[in-house]
Homo-oligomer: A and B are copies of this chain.
Amino acid sequence: MRSASADPTTRERIRDAAVLRFARDGFGASVRSIATDAGVSPALVIHHFGSKDELHAECDERVLAEIRAAKNETIDELASGQGILHRFAAADEYAPMLGYVLRSVQDGGPVGRTFIEQMIEDAVGYTKHGIEAGLIKPSRDEAARARYLVLSALGTLMIELTLNPPEDPSDIGGMVRDFLATSYLPMIELYTQGVFTTRRMLDEYLLYVPDPPQDPAAEPPSA
């Protein structure tokens, strides 16, 4: 991006080392540690990227590009929102990417943002597909539900990881597997049958807030 016909090897080695270190230690990781990982002097890192922030930005672009590529590869493998997590768990090659994304989500960085937006967008498509196939119940606000499902899944994973940090941060596939081992049953149970026996709380809320904030196709039931 920066220089048209750039060096192929050293620059990329530094960038990849940075992605890895950022994924493991967060974006507070020092330039010196990245340089050591790449087998290079700290000065060279700055010489190639100008500053740590620009290195960070380039790592962001790189990870987003990898995500796009990975998604295009497996575009029709996935059938539901948590299918993505299974996909991650199955392929350890995506481990640095997931770690990087989670760090970026935690920092509110642009990668986390766009990643989440993409996941939500995908989830909207998946749920729509599932509804048409008769597998998923329609929601009163599809956009809000897709957003909630993605945020809750990602949030649960994040808290689980900060609460029980894995011994080997590179084994993110194992992390996701552990996460699913403890959370999959309650999640799937919740998705299948809910928790409430009555519609009371939902109806009370619907009475209180008449219409969903989506496209106003239906009339508000009261007031």
- The chain A residues found within 8 Å of chain B, CB to CB, are 105-108, 112-113, 116, 127, 134-137, 139-141, 144-145, 147-149, 151-160, 162-163, 165, 182-202, 205, 209, 212
Knowing A108-B163, A158-B158, A162-B108 touch, does A144 contact B197 (C-beta < 8 A)? no
Task: Among B113, B151, B183, point to the contact of A156 (Cβ < 8 A).
Answer: B151
Residue in contact with A195 in the complex, picked from B112, B136, B156, CB distance below 8 Å: B136
The 17 listed contacts between A and B (C-beta, < 8 Å) are A112-B163, A135-B200, A136-B197, A139-B189, A140-B189, A144-B183, A145-B186, A151-B155, A152-B156, A154-B155, A158-B159, A185-B205, A188-B202, A189-B202, A190-B191, A192-B194, A192-B202
CB-CB under 8 A from A141, the residues of chain B are: 185-186
Evaluate contact between A162 and B196: CB separation under 8 angstroms: no
The smallest beta-carbon distance between A116 and chain B, in angstroms, is 7
A116/B163 in contact, CB under 8 A: yes
Q: A163 near B113 (CB under 8 angstroms)?
A: yes
Interface contact B137-A186, CB-CB below 8 Å? no
A156 to B162, CA, bound (A): 14
B192-A196 in contact (CB<8A): yes
Across the interface, name the chain B residue whose C-beta is closest to A116.
B163
Measured in the bound complex, the distance between the Cα atoms of B183 and A38 in whole Å is 43
